[in-house]
Structure 1
C-alpha cells in the first residue's frame, strides 16, 4: 500500500504515472468497445500455472482505512499516531496492474498517496511503486515480491537516515471485505524487523 518511503534520487512525476495509466485504460476500453477480446493464456503458460496476475484482485474497489504509523522508526521510540480515511483501487490490464488512491487524516495531518502495482508474468512477481501526494513524486526502487499461502511479502533496499536498510511490505488476513497491511524496516540485514506502519481496511458499502 503506501508508506513513509525513504529518500531516493530516482523519481518520476505522479502526473506522468497517472497519464500512462489513463492511456492504458483508454486503450483497453477502446478494444472492448470494438469487440476485441484479450487473448487467453495458452495451456501450461506461466500465467495459467501461477495465476499471480489476480493476486491483488481483492483490493479492487473502495475501502475504509484505519492507519497506525510510528513517528520515528529505528530510533528506539515507541510513539505511534493514528489516522482514518479511505482508499480506492482500480484494475488495469485484466488484473496485471492496478492503481490505488489513498487518503487519511489524523493528529499529525493529512496523508495522501498513490500506489501503482505491476505484475511480471515471467518472474511471477509484483512490483509496487508508492507516490506521496505531498511531493508529487514516485519513489524508486520498486518493492518487489509475491503471494504465497495467502500472504504477500515484498522487499527492497533503501537509504534511511544515511544508512542502507531493508524494507518489507506484508499483506495478510485477507477476506472479501477486509485486509491487513504492515510495513517494517530492518537495519541488520533482515535478522530483525521493526513494524512502523499498520493499515487495517474494511470494504466500503456501495
Structure 2
C-alpha cells in the first residue's frame, strides 16, 4: 500500500473494496498453547460508505455454516478507525478494536472476553497489494506481554 502524505487515513481500507476468496486458518483451541489449526475457505465483499469514512465487509463461511460482518468507521478528528464485528451465530456486536495504519501495516487493539476469560485483542492487516491481503487476529491473556495468533485470513482478489 502506497503512503499518501495528504491522506488523513480515511482511505486506508480502500484496498479491501471488492470481492475476495479467503483462506482461513483458525486455532481449534485458544489460550492453551495449541498448534492445531482448522483450515477452510470463504468469500468476502467489502464496500465503502460515506466517501470512505465507513465500510462494511461481509464474510461468508459456507463450510462452517455462518456469516460475519465487519463494520468500520473513521474518526476524522483523531484519525483512528473503530472496527466492530457481528457473527451470524449470535447476532451480537462485539466490542470494538481501534487503531490505524502506519507504513502499510494496520494495527487495531481492544478488549474482549474469550469465554469468561478477559483478553486483549489485536487485529493486524499486512501483506497488502492489489491482489492480496492478510488479516490476523491475536489474543493476549497477560495484558499484552505476549500474543497468540488465533485466526488468519488470507485474501485473494476475485473481482
Identify whether the pair has TM-score above 0.5, normalized to the shorter chain. yes
Partner of 1:132: 87
More strand by share: 2
1:84 shift after superposition: 0.6
TM norm structure 2: 0.92
Partner residue in 2 for 1:181: 135
**Structure 1 counterpart of 2:43:** 86
Q: Please give the root-mean-square deviation of Cα atoms over the aligned residues, in Å.
A: 1.4
Q: Deviations over 1:179-202 (max 9, x none)?
A: 011000111111111000001011
Work out which of the residue numbers 138, 149, 157 in structure 2 matches 1:195: 149
Give the number of aligned pairs.
155
CA shift at 1:78, angstroms?
Answer: 1.7
2:53 equivalent to 1:96: yes
Q: Over alpha carbons, which structure has the higher Rg? A: 1
Q: 4+ residue stretches of structure 1 with deviation over 4 A?
A: none
Trace 1:49-88 onto structure 2 (pairs within 5 A).
49-88=6-45
SS of the equivalent of 1:73 reads coil
Give the distance between the partners of 2:117 and 2:30, measured in 1 at CA. Answer: 13
For 1:88 and 1:157, the matched residues in 2 are separated by 26
Structure 2 unaligned residues grouped into runs of 5+ = none
Q: Structure 1 residue 122 and structure 2 residue 42: aligned?
A: no
Pick the structure with more helix per residue: 1
1:83·1:105 contact (CA, 8 Å) conserved in 2? no
- Conserved in 2, the CA contact under 8 Å of 1:70 and 1:79? yes
Structure 1 length as normaliser, TM-score?
A: 0.72
